[in-house]
Structures are given as C-alpha cells and as structure tokens.
Amino acid sequence: MIRKGIKKQLQYLRRNITHITELCKESPLTRLSRKSYRNLLLLQEVYRQQSEMFDQKKHSVTGRIVSISQPHVRPIVRGKAKAVYKAILQEAREDEKQRVLIEGVFGRAKRKYGMGLIKEKLQNTSENTLTMIILEMNLEKIPKVFLEYLRIIFVLLYRFFGKVIFQPLFR
C-alpha cells in the first residue's frame, strides 16, 4: 500500500518536472528567480534519489536530501553506520585541529611579520621575501630552544654531580 502511494507521488513529480522541462524550451531558465532555480535543481535531485530508492527497494542513498528548505541537513545515522560516522567525525576533528594550528601560524606571520603586506611584483622577489619571513620566524624560536636545552643540562648536572659542582668558588 505504501509503495503504491510512493509510486503515485513519484509519477506526479516526474510529470511536473517534464512540464517544467518543456516550458524551458520555450523560455530560458534565467527568467526564474534564484530561489526558484535552486528549488528546481533540488527537486530534480530529490526525485532522482527517491526513484533510485524506489526502483532498488532501498531505504537509503548516499547524500540523501531530507529537506528542500535545508538541503545541507542529512538524515540521522542509526545502528552500525553510527560507529562509522563517529570515526569519520573524529577524523574530521583531527584534521580541523591541524588546520587551526597551521592557520594560526599563517595568521601570526601576517600580523607580526607582515606576510600579508608583501608588495613585490616579481615571483622571485616575492619568494625571497616569504623565505626571509619564515627564516625570521624560525630564528625567533632558537633562544627558547637553547634556554630549554641549557635548563636540561643544568638539571642533569645537578642530578649526577650533586651540590659539589654548584658550590661557590670563594667562601
């Protein structure tokens, strides 16, 4: 009974899309408003997805549109597919974290080092300027790394030799 109803609705939709296609031969689609044109494309895609599910007797299709007004919304994932969805979501979060770190470095380079203000016209001079900015950013890290290594050396010396090495020379 439900399949009969779905079949009828698909036939109605196919008929209407066919009528619109015939009308398009007489006048161009540019006469449609932006929203109407978007809805026409969405309805054609929904028809394709629904007819595919009906013909193949499936209950899902990849990228399924569940709302014409919000085509970006996808159906709720349930069951075994939920675990796959969570794994994909976790991977997307990890990618986002990396992207944020990289964008942060570029943002800092633009703000602090003027990377966004490069005015050179030739490719060679632009590349040289970028290289100098990146070199300056890396050189800024050296004192911090050097101090950290120095701290580690002092901690190791203190642990191995004790207070003897750090006693004052003159009493």
Is there a contact between 20 and 13 (Cβ–Cβ < 8 Å)? no
* pLDDT tops 90 at residue 115: no
* Predicted local distance difference test score (pLDDT) of residue 97: 92
* Predicted local distance difference test score (pLDDT) of residue 67: 84
* pLDDT tops 80 at residue 56: yes
| Structure tokens belonging to residue 100 | 């944020």
Region 140-149: mean pLDDT is: 85
The model carries a pTM of 0.46
| Minimum mean pLDDT range among 40-44, 114-118, 160-164, 167-171 | 167-171
Distance CA 46, CA 14 (A): 11
* pLDDT tops 60 at residue 25: yes
